[in-house]
Chains A and B, each alone.
Chain A
Amino acid sequence: MPTPNSNLIARRAEFVSALRTIVPGEGVIDDTVALAAYECDGLTAYRQKPMIAVLPETVDQVSEVLRYCHNVGLKVVPRGAGTSLSGGALPLADGIILGLGKFNKILDVDYENQCAVVQPGVTNLAITHAVTNDGFYYAPDPSSQIACSIGGNVAENAGGVHCLKYGTTTNNLMGVEIVLMDGTVLRLGGKSLNEPGLDLLGVICGSEGLLGVVTEVTVRILPVPEIRRALLLGFNSLESAGTCVSSIIGQGIIPAGMEIMDKLAIEAAEAFVNVGYPLDAEAIMIVELDGSAPEVDHLIDIVHGLAKDSGATSLRVSNNEDERLSFWAGRKAAFPAIGRISPDYYCIDGTIPRRTLPEVLTRINKMSDEYNLRVANVFHAGDGNLHPMVLYDASIPGELEKAEKLGSDILTLCVDVGGVLTGEHGVGVEKRDLMEVQFSSSDIDQQQRLKCAFDDQGLLNPGKVFPKLCRCAELGQVHVHGGKLRFPELDRL
């Protein structure tokens, strides 16, 4: 992280009293014990107590806090529910944490326009709960959905298991209100489609708290599908499972979910939840189809046939909701199940072109042998998002570092085969030093210039996403050469 500025830390009392004039009462926390609650997010290997935590309740307060911090040069780390798996909400020793937890109201459920307007601290699942009795739901479903906040989902462009069919947060987001570092409040998008001008909404989503602080969110809600059915397929090789995925897509079928688990993940899950996963299989695949009953029944038959042709060694079709949920139970419990067979695990999040899965898993297994660390794999086969889980024991000196090194080797492999460093967890602090594996320096320069347009002093969530801090003045210079044409070979008509 950036070296803490001791001059700022020395002015702590001054900042606390100024912030208390904006957010009164318990909204400004400077007690060291209470600040410990904010020292990490879901990436618990990294910890740092913030200098101060501020918990505003109104947009005006957010705006005034940011304007104040902008004026005095104080760094700000926004935080939703703190479930980031990439350290997106990791505090700074010389900065404040801006917690949006008090923004927890659902402001408007508008069935006529099929959307909901909510405050950023509302949890992902609470949106679905608010509309479920009327037959609607909110589609993106990150596995932390019971705890993660929608504001954090916007910051990270959160995904889930249904992305291929329903998209990620960005495809279900209709509008936001954000506050820029200088206190300016922007309202982008809303209940109509296509905002005028540049797609600012599109670039805010997934910006990991570096461009603005989200204070209101409008999301699309969808009618609940009439029926959901799933198939549980066993395969004796990852290649056959991969073939099955390709043939399903090749038939023009977009399943609601398509998940693959490897042998170690199957064993751990079955030992934990005991739902009848085939233990002799090298890979299992869960395919879920949703929609109207005639369509789902029709597609289940087709997928059944394709699975047989791809050499499925076991094949079960859900005939009721209990059965469908039992197919998913092991997959949904995969992370805690791994937690039972290892003292610690490190969850990685790369995306690869689907067809490279067998090759990538073979190479991961090889790395696993080399590092002498076990790796279990779960894979969102629909959208190519791979979650290898590296099993390690943090009580053995050096093993965490070894696990992290293996993780970065795996992510480099994902990029090598045409994929990307992160599919849904974000870059944060965790992967920022790998950005140069995927992007050239001019790619990163352009991203940092965008950051400069929003936050020219680099005060909002610095130290995240980019391997180096932004140098806005330097990045803004155009280097031109004289006034003569240097490329006379160009075809000029």
Chain B
Amino acid sequence: MREVWKPQNVSELQSAIKDALSSQITLELRGSGSKRRLGRKVHSNVLVDLSRISGITLYEPEEMIITVRPGTPLAEIEAALAQHNQRLAFDPPSYVALWGASSDHGTIGGAMMTGRAGSRRLTAGGPRDHCLGVKAVNGFGEICAAGGRVVKNVTGFDISKLVTGSFGTLCAVSELTLKTHPTPNDTVTLALLGLDDVTAVDTMRQAMSSSCQVSAAAYLPEQITNHFANNTLPPHISATLLRLDGFHPTTRARAETLSNQLKSIDGHQLIPCTESRPLWMEISNAQCFSQNIEHALWHISVPPKNGPEIIDHLRSMFKFDYYFDWAGGGIWVEIKNQSHDYSTEIRQTIRDLVGGDGHATLMRTPHDLIDVAAPFQPLAPEIEAITRRIKSQFDPMGIFNPGRMYKGI
């Protein structure tokens, strides 16, 4: 068993890191561990459990900011925000069901360090767009801060963005300041039934180009609609979903305008707020892929118009289920096979079709492949070189989450 350290506050965290430096030991930084299956497995001497460095230290709804410690459960933050009709706009996803775990939604530290966003990534940005400031202990054992607590800030390098999505490989974050956003008082979804994926992606493009303020767009092929717990969708027919957030009743007016603009397509259905919200949560969390937890699951990011073409190529190579989020640019692919992840085929297809304009992340690795899989897209040599130099300027002894993103990083 690895030793577990549970620092209670930033000064204990700093002590722990200084100890690690002087004893030359490596650390795995962990919040609740709900996202530990994402990325490479960390082999470290000690597990640093950050769950006690927890709590909201400042919440100013009128300023639309919140300052939190990394171990704060997401649920606690969401509940505090909900009291003021606010939320985190990037739809922080929960993937625990994908890995067959219980309903722990994780901590804010985990959500920010893994850098994942749900359906609204397309229009609201990701965690990196919502992180205004960080405080952390770096790999020199120093407490340092970057950014601030105001929305508009260009003072110094934007280290908050660099740290967000770094999987804890650069520093141990002790505090984060995030943007908050009003929760729209209505969310409706215009569903178009029965489209093929090429028509669906083109329709999503039209919708995103309209002035109807579509906030998210997804396409669920007919094979997948009956895997959704939400029973709003008719089974065995594809659904192209266009989400509209805003003020009731203007959301409906916009949905009608949009429906008129797309009237050359048959089969329109309006999904009201009570069903829209859980439906989009299922889409953000890829919940429909939580049945076969030993099957590899990929998230592919490409320019939206290339989505159908990528799927078409993969079809000739292996069997899978899929759906599009991000108007076609975010593709979830579940391999129907326990023994392969097809990473070579998937990454080669992306290279062939979109060059450097796309990448694939292995979101769920079959157990037998855990030690050999490359969950993140390999970096171009020149980008890998600068990444290593940055790592060594934050964590010169390589004590934080060694190998979590890439070998040696």
Binding site for A on B (CB under 8 A): 3-8, 12, 15-16, 18-19, 21-24, 60-64, 85, 115, 117, 121-122, 125-126, 128-129, 138-146, 148-159, 161-162, 164-166, 170, 181-185, 205, 208-213, 246-247, 249-250, 253-254, 257, 301-305, 326, 329-330, 354, 356-359, 361, 376-377, 379-380, 382-387, 389-390, 392-394, 396-397, 405-406
Q: Which 9 A-B pairs have the closest CB atoms?
A: A202-B161, A252-B182, A487-B15, A191-B303, A196-B377, A449-B393, A294-B253, A226-B211, A453-B389
CA A298 – CA B140 in complex, angstroms? Answer: 54
Contact A425 B396 (CB under 8 A): no
B61, A384: Cβ atoms closer than 8 Å: no
What is the bound-complex CA distance between A492 and B16, given in angstroms? 10
Q: Are A351 and B150 in contact (CB under 8 A)?
A: yes
Residues of the A chain whose Cβ atoms lie less than 8 Å from the Cβ of B165: 194, 198-199
Q: Out of B64, B122, B144, B406, which one reaches A249, CB within 8 Å?
A: B64
- Decide if B148 touches A419 in the complex (CB within 8 Å): yes
A193 to B116, CA, bound (A): 11
Pairwise interchain contact A450-B393, C-beta atoms closer than 8 A: yes
Contact flag A192-B185 (CB < 8 Å), given A421-B155, A443-B146, A478-B139: no
CB of B18 within 8 A of CB of A163, answer: no
Residue contact B148 to A420, C-beta cutoff 8 Å: yes
- A163–B145 CB distance below 8 A: no
A186 contacts which chain B residues (CB < 8 A)? 382-383, 386
Give A167 Cβ to nearest chain B Cβ, in Å: 7
Q: Which of A192, A427, A478 has the most CB of B within 10 A?
A: A192
Question: Looking at the complex, which of A20-28, A108-116, A390-398 is the stretch in contact with chain B?
Answer: A108-116
Inter-chain contacts of B122 with A (CB < 8 A) = 193
| Cβ–Cβ < 8 Å partners of A180 in chain B | 386
A491 interface residue (CB < 8 Å to B): yes
The B-contacting residues of A in range 327-386, CB under 8 angstroms, are: 351-355, 380, 383-385
Count contacts on A: residues with CB < 8 A to the other chain: 111
Chain B residue with the shortest CB-CB distance to A163: B152
Main secondary structure of the interface of A (DSSP, over half): loop
Which one of B63, B142, B209, B406 lies within 8 Å of A197 (CB-CB)? Answer: B406
Determine whether the beta carbon of A223 is less than 8 Å from that of B210.
Answer: yes
Output the nearest chain B residue to A485 by Cβ-Cβ distance.
Answer: B19
Chain A residues, Cβ within 8 Å of B382: 184-186
Q: Flag A175-217 by CB within 8 Å of B: 1 or 0 each.
A: 0000010001111101111111111101101110011000000
A197-B387 in contact (CB<8A): yes
A198 → B minimal CB distance (Å): 6
A91 CB within 8 Å of chain B: no
Is A422 in the interface zone, CB < 8 Å from B? Answer: yes
Inter-chain contact A168/B152, CB cutoff 8 Å: yes
B144 contacts which chain A residues (CB < 8 A)?
A: 440, 442-443, 445-446
- CB neighbours (8 Å) of B212 from chain A are 292
A residues with a Cβ closer than 8 A to B are 110-114, 135-136, 156-157, 159, 163-164, 167-168, 170-171, 180, 184-188, 190-200, 202-203, 205-207, 210-211, 223-226, 246, 249-254, 291-292, 294-295, 298-299, 351-355, 380, 383-385, 418-427, 431, 435, 438-440, 442-447, 449-454, 465, 475-476, 478-487, 489-493
**C-alpha gap A181/B154 in the complex (Å):** 22
Report whether B143 and A163 are in contact in the complex, using a CB–CB cutoff of 8 Å. Answer: no
B396 pairs with A493, CB closer than 8 A: no
User: Contact between B397 and A478 (Cβ–Cβ < 8 Å)?
Assistant: yes
| Residues B146 and A446 in contact, CB atoms below 8 Å apart | yes
**Chain B residues within an 8 Å CB radius of A194:** 115, 117, 121, 126, 165, 301, 359
CB <8 Å contact, A112 and B304: yes
CB distance from A289 to the nearest CB of B (A): 11
Check A135 against B209 for contact (C-beta < 8 Å).
yes
A192 touching B301, Cβ below 8 Å: yes
Partner of B383, one of A188, A421, A426: A188
Q: Is there an interface contact between A492 and B3, defined as CB atoms closer than 8 Å?
A: yes
Please measure, in the bound complex, the distance between the C-alpha atom of A56 and the C-alpha atom of B126, giving whole angstroms. 36
| Residue pair A292, B305 in contact (C-beta under 8 Å) | no
- Find A250's partner among B62, B140, B397 (CB 8 Å cutoff): B62
Q: Which residues from chain B contact A444 at a C-beta distance below 8 Å?
A: 156
Q: Apart from A196-B377, A420-B155, what 13 extra A-B contacts exist at CB < 8 Å?
A: A186-B383, A187-B380, A191-B354, A192-B301, A295-B247, A443-B156, A446-B159, A450-B394, A478-B139, A480-B21, A480-B22, A491-B7, A492-B5
Q: A299-B247, A454-B386, A490-B12 are contacts. A351–B213 as well, Cβ < 8 Å?
A: no
Supply 25 A–B pairs (Cβ within 8 Å), ascending by A: A111-B209, A191-B303, A191-B354, A196-B359, A196-B379, A199-B161, A200-B383, A200-B390, A202-B164, A203-B161, A252-B183, A254-B181, A292-B257, A294-B249, A351-B151, A418-B149, A425-B154, A443-B144, A452-B393, A478-B139, A478-B397, A480-B21, A484-B23, A485-B19, A493-B3
A450 to B159, CA, bound (A): 9
CA distance A57 to B152 in the complex (A): 34
